[in-house]
Amino acid sequence: MQNSKISLIIPAYNEEKYIGNCLDYVLRNTKGKLFEIIVVDNKSTDNTAKIAISYPGVRVVSEENKGLVRARQRGFMESRGDILAYIDADTQMPDFWFDKILEGFSEGSVVCVSGPYVYYDISKFQQFLVKIYWYILAMPVYYIVGYMVVGGNFAIRRKTVEKMGGFDTTIEFYGEDTNIARRASKEGKVKFNPSMFMYTSGRRLSGQGIWKTAYIYISNFLSEAFLHKPLTKEYTDIR
84-111: pLDDT as tens digits: 999 999 999 999 999 999 999 999 999 9
Residue 19 pLDDT greater than 90, yes or no: yes
Residue 3 pLDDT greater than 60, yes or no: yes
Where do the domains of the chain lie? Answer: 6-227
- Residue-level pLDDT at 206: 84
Give Cα 94 distance to the centre of its chain: 14
Residue 184 pLDDT greater than 60, yes or no: yes
Average pLDDT over residues 7-31: 97
Contact 180, 150 (CB under 8 A): no
Residue 55 pLDDT greater than 70, yes or no: yes
- Residue-level pLDDT at 4: 87
What does R_g of the chain's alpha carbons equal in angstroms?
16
Q: What is the pLDDT of residues 115-166, one digit of tens each?
A: 999 999 999 999 999 999 999 999 999 999 999 999 999 999 999 999 999 9
Return the CATH fold of 6-227.
Answer: Spore Coat Polysaccharide Biosynthesis Protein SpsA; Chain A (3.90.550)
Tell me the C-alpha distance between 74 and 63, whole Å: 6
φ, ψ for residue 49, nearest 5 deg: -65, -40
Residue 37 pLDDT greater than 60, yes or no: yes
* pTM, to two decimals: 0.95
